[in-house]
Structure formats: C-alpha cells, structure tokens
Chains A and B, each alone.
Chain A
Amino acid sequence: MIEALGLTKKYGSMTAVDQISFEIDAREVVGFLGPNGAGKTTTMKMLSCFMPATSGSAKVAGYDVVRESLKVRQNIGYLPENVPLPHEMKVEEYLQYRARLKGISRADRKTRLSEAMDRCGVAHVRKKAIGALSKGYRQRVGLADALVANPPILILDEPTEGLDPEQILQVRGLIQELGRDHTILLSTHILPEVEKICQRVIVISSGTIRAMDTLTNLKKGSGVLVEIQGETEAAVAEALTNVDGVTDLKVVPSEGEEGSRYFLHTEKSQAVREQVYRLAVSKAWVLLGLSDESRRLEDIYIEIVTADRTLAPTAVTDLLSPGSEGASSHA
C-alpha cells in the first residue's frame, strides 16, 4: 500500500531524508521510530503529498505521490504533528467541511461523520468550538478528520503526543482497532506504544533507515548473559569469545555479585547457551548464571540509534545496566 523508493529530501545543503526505501503491505500497522530531527515528519509529509521528494519516488495506494497526488490524497487520512485546526470552528462544522472537501457525497456525509465522531469519542463535544477543547480532544478531532472519508491508509504523525495517560490508552486502543482494516504508518517516541500496536518497525536516524523488521525478529537473537565465579576475567572472556555463534563479548560491571558477568552477543541464543554450558563443565567453572537476554525494544532502539555515534561501546554497557530506562525515555 505504501512504497518508498530511494526517497530523498534536501533542504538546501542539509539532507533531511537520505535514500530511504521501504514497503508497507495492506492492513499492516508500522511504527516509524527515530530521534527528533531524524526525518520522520519529512518522510510523512512526502508520503502525504504535502511536499515532493528531492529525488526518489513513492507510491501510496498504488498511485505516485507526485504525478497522481490527488488520487493519493483521496486514499489517505493524514494527521500532522501538533494537529493544526481552526480554533474558531465547531467540531461538527469542521468535520463536515472536511468531509465535503474529501468528496463524501451528501447522502453518506451524516453517517460517515457520526461514525468518525463516535470512534474518536468526540460526539459529545460536537457543538463546541475547537479552540475551547483540551489538547487531547483536539488530537481526537484531528483523528476523526483523518478517518472521516474512511481512507484505506492512515499516516499519523505522533498521534499520542501531548495526551494524558488515559487519553493515550484510548487513542492507542482506537489505532489498534483501526489497524484491523486500515494500513497505518505512525510515528512515535513512545516505545511501549509500538510494542502494543505495531507489527513492524522502521527505525530511522539522521535521515537513513537503521533497522526495519518485525518486532519479533528485532527482539530475537539478542544475546546470552553468563555469570561465572572464581576465574580470571581475561581467561574466561577469551574462551567465551571462541564459542561458535558469539559475535561479540562485553564484560558487564558486576554489582556486588559473586561472579563476573559476561554478555555474549549472539545470533542464536539457544545453541550458544548449550555450548557455554559444555565449556563451563569441561573447564570446571562455577557457572552461576546462564540466561537468554531477549532485549527490550528500548534497548534495541537505543543501540540502533546510537550505533552511528562514536559512543557506541558505552551505550552498549549502559544497555545492560538496570538504569537504562533513563537513557531511553528521552529519545
């Protein structure tokens, strides 16, 4: 449904989005992740035909975003960042205008309007001026606007930004429900949100795609944490590095625990754990712990995003310490 091919956007000499390509299938809910200024909004603006790419192309609903822009726009519902709405208009009045603009026939308008308002929970404020509503309600009016023409594709730029926790849950629930019969691309900073509603994530940083996979794949094959007592760290580390399937090893600072801890980056955790066990037995190490460390999305995200900054080694050790939430929540 959405297909980007070498999409690039330059503002003067600054490259905001650099050669990104991806595909999103029908009825897929894809999370678009990345730090501020990574190019998420720019990409979404190009997909929703607000501005053209400097080079590359994109097809949405099978139509080219530049050459068949009107067709594309008939098939998408777009919720921009910050949801700019005319404050002086009443909710229903505004949605009615948008429905007309999106070409909904007079006969269907009433049902479409009340359906969108019901789904987004704004039916009871329909007679209120948009300017008098709270941020959460305005966000929902924006969502109702995106939904009103019942487009097959929704492009939502930070749909839960600035909402209170209860509203976040409501909007998240709504998106989950919409995901059953819509193709959705949404950007967000809230990682648990992605885990709850998205089947797939695209991580973008400094304008390029850093990772693009299903959540299960991303979290798979993360690593093994080994804890061994009474041996010199260097000797153990060397032996463990030679284990088949271990791609990298980090000594984890021990926090008053009895043994030394080692984090093995692996492709397949199962096979590695088996070998580590056999190795420990053959060397008569006291094996205190051997665990599969499937990473949390936060960790993966931070790792991917910081990989291109030179701080990578510290970032990885940070990841393994319990205090890593602090590092991820601001991202």
Chain B
Amino acid sequence: MRNLWTLTRRELGAFFLSPLAYVIIFLFLFFQGYAFKTWLHAGQQMGGVEGIDVGQVLGGFLGGGFVWWFLMLLPPVLTFRSLAAEKSSGRIEMLFTAPVTDIEVVLAKFLGALIFYSILWLSTGVYVLYVINAGAEPDWGVVTTGYLGIILFGAMLIAINLFFSSVTSNVVVALILSLFFNIGVVFAPALIDFLTSNAAVKNIAEYIQVVDHLEKDFSNGIVDTRHIIYYGSSILLGLFLTLRTVEIRKWR
C-alpha cells in the first residue's frame, strides 16, 4: 500500500486539472444553495428565525429536494473516466508497468472519487454554520447521520460505477451504464413495491430501498446497522468486481 497515497493524490489532482470538476462544483453549490434557501424559507413561514425547527430544515436539506439528483449523478461523473479513459488512452500501460499493485490502483481510483465527493458535500457545512449563526441549535445527531448517510450512499455508487468504468474502454458506455444503474437503484424498489402485493418481495424491496434508508433513518438521526451492512457490502462488492476486471488483462 506504499503507493496508495501517491496514486490517490494523482486522482484528486486529475479532477482539479479538468474543467469538468469546476462545472460540477458550480452546479452543485448553486443548486444546494437554492435548496437550502427554500428549506430555510419554509421553516421561517412556520415561525420566524427563533421558531425554526433546525432538525427539520437540515433533515430536509440533507434528505430531500435536489439531493437525490446529486446522489444519482455525482458518482457517474466522478468515475466514468477513472479506468475507461486509462484504457482508451493507453495510459494504463504506463500505470501497470510501474511498481504498483492492482489493488492500489483500484483503491486509489475509489478514494480519489470519494474524497472529491465528500469535500463537495461537506462544503455544504457552511449552511449548518449559517443556521448556528442565526441563533438556532442544530441537532448534531441529525447533521452527522445525514452526512454519514450521504457519504455511505455515494461510496456505494462510486464503487459500483467504478466497476462499470472498468468493463469498457469507452467512457460514454461507462457513463451510461452508471447512470442507468443509479437511477434504477433509486427508483426500482419503489416501483417493485408499487407493482407487487407479495409480502416477501415487498420485504426485499424495502431492504434495498435506499431512498427510505436515507429519508427515514439517516436524515432523522437514526443509524441502523442493517443499512451500514447494506452499504458496506455493496462497496466491497463493487471494489471486488473492479479489481477482478482489472486483473482480467492478466488472464487473457
């Protein structure tokens, strides 16, 4: 793991060297700012600054509105080039003829995207500070679990989208596969739940129902170990599949 940090730093550096990163940052901050304003306004309607239910504002802010769009769209744009572009440009040869292990490369790609993603979300912490400055007492549990849920969910999608980037050398294919998967993850369980009346199927749908995990639990300050296991195992699965795909070149 000697090279992990070197590789991760290179990944992060690559984000900031591409114009795409700045477009993402701009759109993210713009829409999150707008969402925050909307929630704050809604809170104010209910009883002025003193009367704001901070938990509700932050909970809504961290679990509703534009959040879902960013949760679905950020991981694909952060990962679609990760391995696909290395392959199409041939840089993968430079990478793997240097003394680095496959697992270091995969983890660095994952961490690079996850760190960028986390920085983006944690930057919304200024809104929390704003609320405190306005004299309100936020519920720290809600804030912490809200962010935890968002980062875990992002980590899961980043790991799986990284896999899609590893199966192709075409960045567009990687992006489309990732988008379809993420939209499916967010909407499919609700659809299954709606379409079936079978109790067993409904149970499974509920377990993989990520929207509920975030909206009902994480954004309300509840950390359920089942969800942690769900995210954790999905992250491991994504990374494992990516690693195996990267290793395939050795067996062809």
Contacts and interface: CB of A to CB of B under 8 A. Distances in A.
B100 interface: yes
Contacts of B99: 70, 73-74, 101-103
A50 B93 contact: yes
A45 B250 CA distance: 11
Contact of B250 (A51, A88, A102, A145): A51
Nearest to A66: B250
B93 A84 contact: yes
Contacts of A89: 13, 17
Interface in B12-31: 13-14, 17-18
A89 B10 CA distance: 10
B3 A101 contact: yes
B191 to A, nearest CB: 41
Contacts of B250: 51-52
A256 B17 CA distance: 68
Nearest to A9: B252
B97 A48 contact: yes
A98 B252 CA distance: 27
Interface in A23-75: 45, 48-52, 70, 73-74
B88 to A, nearest CB: 10
Contacts of A50: 93, 96-97, 249
Given A78-B93, A86-B91, 10 more contacts: A49-B96, A49-B97, A50-B96, A52-B251, A80-B90, A80-B93, A84-B89, A85-B94, A89-B17, A101-B3
A48 B249 CA distance: 14
B98 interface: yes
Contacts of B94: 78, 80, 84-85, 145
B6 A70 contact: no
26 contacts: A11-B252, A48-B97, A49-B96, A49-B97, A50-B93, A51-B249, A51-B250, A52-B250, A73-B97, A74-B99, A76-B97, A78-B94, A78-B97, A80-B93, A80-B97, A84-B90, A86-B14, A89-B17, A97-B9, A97-B10, A100-B3, A100-B6, A101-B3, A101-B99, A103-B2, A145-B94
Given A11-B252, A80-B94, A101 B89 contact: no
A216 interface: no
Contacts of B98: 73, 98, 101-102
A82 interface: yes
Interface of A: 11, 45, 48-52, 70, 73-74, 76, 78, 80, 82, 84-86, 88-89, 97-98, 100-103, 145
Contacts of B3: 100-101, 103
A70 B3 CA distance: 12
Find the residue from B9, B10, B101 having the highest chain A CB count within 10 A: B10
Contacts of B10: 97
Could you say which of A48, A86, A97 has the most chain B C-beta atoms within 10 Å of its C-beta?
A86
B7 interface: yes
Contacts of A100: 3, 6
A74 B100 CA distance: 9
B96 A70 contact: no
Contacts of A80: 90, 93-94, 97
B18 A88 contact: yes
Give the one of A48, A50, A78, A145 with max B CB within 10 A: A50
Contacts of B14: 86, 88
Contacts of A11: 252
A76 B251 CA distance: 22
Interface string B222-252: 0000000000000000000000000001111
Contacts of A102: 98-99
